[in-house]
Amino acid sequence: MTIRQLSPEVVRYIAAGEVVERPASVVKELVENAFDAGATNVRVAIQRGGLGAIRVTDDGCGISADELELAVTRHATSKLATADDLVRVATLGFRGEALASIGAVSHLEIVSRPPDTATGARLRMVSGEITDQGATGGPAGTTVTVRNLFHNVPARAAFQKSATTEARHIITALGALALVRPDIAVSLTNNGRDALQAPGTGDLLDAISAVYGPEVAGRLVPLPALQDRGRTISGFTALPDEHRANRQYLAFLVNGRWVRSPFLVHAVAEAYRAMLPGGRHPVAVIRLDVPPDAVDVNVHPTKAEVRLRHERIVYGLVQHAIREALTAQDHTTLPQWTGWSPDATPGRPSPPTTSGSVSGFQTAHGHQRDGAASPFGAALASASEAVRTEATAQEPPPLLPAEALQPGRLQVLGQIGETYIVAADGSGLYLIDQHSAHERVLYEGLLREAADPTASSKDRDRQLMLSPDVVELSPSQHAWLEEHQGVLADLGFNLEPFGGQSWLMRAVPAALTQRSHTSTIAEVIDGALGREYGDGPVADRTRWSVACHSAVKAGDELTSAAMAKIIRQLEACDLGRTCPHGRPTMVHLSQAQLAREFGRH
């Protein structure tokens, strides 16, 4: 095999492939350049998810006419001078690769004017070759326009997703940058419509509100500004009852740079140890400032990963700050001891005597049924009705004699830890995971309803809301909903755009238990965005997500009637032994197993 020198064209394409993976990569590099140029306002406009066009305009220091051609040359930069500068990088960009790499795989135009000059300069490049340049007018700052991205790299173009998906990646990348610099106003328009607006007030909480939505921002508490050996921490975190199914709402900002860090993720997880349900993740935006020579940012092509010196110091700082923030906000009071009642079950305090419903299972107020329900919708609503029944103080069901138990007909015996239903039949004892079981019931109900050829979205059994809820979504959630609004309508949601990232929710599926509908819709969308429910069709992933977030949860106290109804519904399921995630819904202890355990064999 002969060794040969690669041509400059091939070298350009290889280098561009490391820097420019998708349109979001282009936006990230150009906005970082704008930040480094001292901009106070950065406007991004995209068409067709960035595959058609990307334009980034800033009011920064600009590029002089005599340096414009040098700016698109590989490894030309104003941010480094010597090798020693690499250990004290204070800018987002520093390699001098971005403009050259972008220009190699697109039609690139740069128009720039420094504030102290009367005339600007223009440069055009196609596939890495300069085709035109000269003087031009324009406002102070720089505008970079990228068209026909990957026009000359068909293999890379073929791997791009839909325009909507690429737009969501851009929203995510730009949102991370808005968190990095809350003092810079950042905006994004997608096909002429506003997709992101960060105000640039300098307040990190305002930036969080713009990126994650005002509902999330409103539930955060500030981290104490702690310091240890030149390292400081600040930011916001959420109380343990505010958590997500993925890590999309966990951001780390190290020396003004958004980074991925398994090490920092672990530090946060340890700080929340024993506070969150299994498989759930906290919401936090953590800003760390360390000495420039204590962090290595030159370890990843996209500069998304860093190495930290003296990690133990940072690890302890993160844990201490989160624990202190949570402790300062913990105003939980333990229930007052009221003594025992003669009628109470031995070993348990008396049930409450006040009227009403157990928290989380109240009768839905402010809702009414919408029209004639479909047959499957009625069954689905019936399955969910178990968790909307008012709980009343009652004696536990009596233990039935063995001869009264028939195989295949489970009888409820009680509940353990407000998580597992205990039941029995002639074959033995069953421990049933109440959430997994109810999730399977609701999921199969939604599947049957979707498979009914005579049903339309209008036939879905839904609850009309007498007072519609305004749902505030993050830019990423809003972009997903714009594309998949019909999918949610088929499941019984009635949502209408209400300006900005707000939606008006007029109806919800009848299966949706009485929880916060606004947070449920956000979690449903997050589950679809994060591929939490597999890689299948969007409609099925969303159906699965709705079932998961509508089902009763571990920790919910159920009445005997509610438990019996879930069991009856589960017995009618096609795949009742597992939940849609594949986890078992029940564990069976046979009569023979029980006999062996008690030495009765």
pLDDT on residue 59: 95
Dihedral class, residue 72 (left if φ above 0, else alpha if ψ from -120 to 50, else beta): alpha
Beta bridge mates, 308: 295
Dihedral class, residue 264 (left if φ above 0, else alpha if ψ from -120 to 50, else beta): alpha
pLDDT tens-digit map of 79-125? 555 555 555 555 665 566 788 889 989 999 999 999 999 999 999 99
| Gap between the Cα atoms of 233 and 249, Å rounded | 18
Number of other CB atoms surrounding residue 277 within 10 Å: 13
pLDDT tens-digit map of 410-421? 889 999 998 999
| Gap between the Cα atoms of 149 and 162, Å rounded | 14
| Gap between the Cα atoms of 226 and 515, Å rounded | 37
Q: What's at 271, amino acid-wise?
A: A
Give yes or no for a contact between 170 and 161, defined as CB atoms under 8 angstroms apart.
no
pTM for the predicted model, two decimal places: 0.69
Distances (CA, A) of 599 to 588, 592, 593, 594, 596: 19, 10, 10, 9, 5
Q: Look at residues 173, 185, 179, 188 and name the one whose alpha carbon lies nearest to residue 216.
A: 179
Distances (CA, A) of 265 to 13, 246, 308: 34, 12, 14
pLDDT on residue 242: 84
| Gap between the Cα atoms of 428 and 127, Å rounded | 72
Tokens for 249?
């709402």
pLDDT on residue 454: 65
Tokens for 326?
């949570």
pLDDT on residue 173: 93
Buried b (16+ CB within 10 A) or exposed e, 573-592: beebeebbeeeebbeeeeee
| Gap between the Cα atoms of 419 and 431, Å rounded | 10
Phi, psi dihedral angles at 108 (to 5 degrees)? -115, 135
pLDDT on residue 416: 93
Using DSSP bridges, classify how beta strands 226-228 and 120-126 pair: parallel, antiparallel or unpaired.
Answer: unpaired
* CATH entry 1.10.1040.10 includes domain 368-589: no
Q: Is 548 helix (H, G, I), strand (E, B) or coil?
A: helix
| Gap between the Cα atoms of 502 and 473, Å rounded | 6
pLDDT on residue 115: 94
Q: What's at 77, amino acid-wise?
A: T
Q: Look at residues 549, 553, 582, 583 and name the one whose alpha carbon lies nearest to residue 566.
A: 553
pLDDT on residue 309: 81
Q: Look at residues 287, 290, 101, 111 and name the one whose alpha carbon lies nearest to residue 207.
A: 287
Q: What's at 245, amino acid-wise?
A: A
Phi, psi dihedral angles at 432 (to 5 degrees)? -115, 125
Sign of torsion over alpha carbons 529, 531, 532, 535? positive
| List of the chain residues with pLDDT < 70 | 6, 9-19, 75-96, 297-304, 330-408, 453-461, 511-518, 530-536, 601
Q: Look at residues 297, 311, 285 and name the one whose alpha carbon lies nearest to residue 228.
A: 311
User: What would the DSSP string read from start to end of 13-60?
Assistant: HHHHHHH-SSHHHHHHHHHHHHHHTT-SEEEEEEEGGGTSEEEEEE-S
| Gap between the Cα atoms of 51 and 211, Å rounded | 23
Q: Which residue is listed with tokens 């955060």?
A: 220
Give yes or no for a contact between 168 and 529, defined as CB atoms under 8 angstroms apart.
yes
pLDDT on residue 361: 26
Number of other CB atoms surrounding residue 150 within 10 Å: 20
DSSP-derived secondary structure letter, 525: H
Tokens for 50?
């960035």
pLDDT tens-digit map of 549-566? 788 888 888 999 999 999
Distances (CA, A) of 210 to 23, 204, 282, 284, 287: 21, 10, 19, 15, 17
pLDDT on residue 459: 52
CATH numeric code, 8-201: 3.30.565.10
Using DSSP bridges, classify how beta strands 586-590 and 502-509 pair: parallel, antiparallel or unpaired.
Answer: unpaired
| Gap between the Cα atoms of 450 and 486, Å rounded | 13
Instruction: Report how far apart the first and last C-alpha atoms of the chain are (Å, whole number).
Output: 73
Class of domain 219-329: alpha beta
pLDDT on residue 343: 37
Domain boundaries, the chain: 8-201, 219-329, 368-589
pLDDT on residue 514: 53
H/E segment holding residue 341: none
Beta bridge mates, 146: 54, 108
SS (H, E, C) 450-500: HHCCCCCHHHCCEEEEEEEEEEECCHHHHHHHHHHHHHHHHCCCEEEECCC
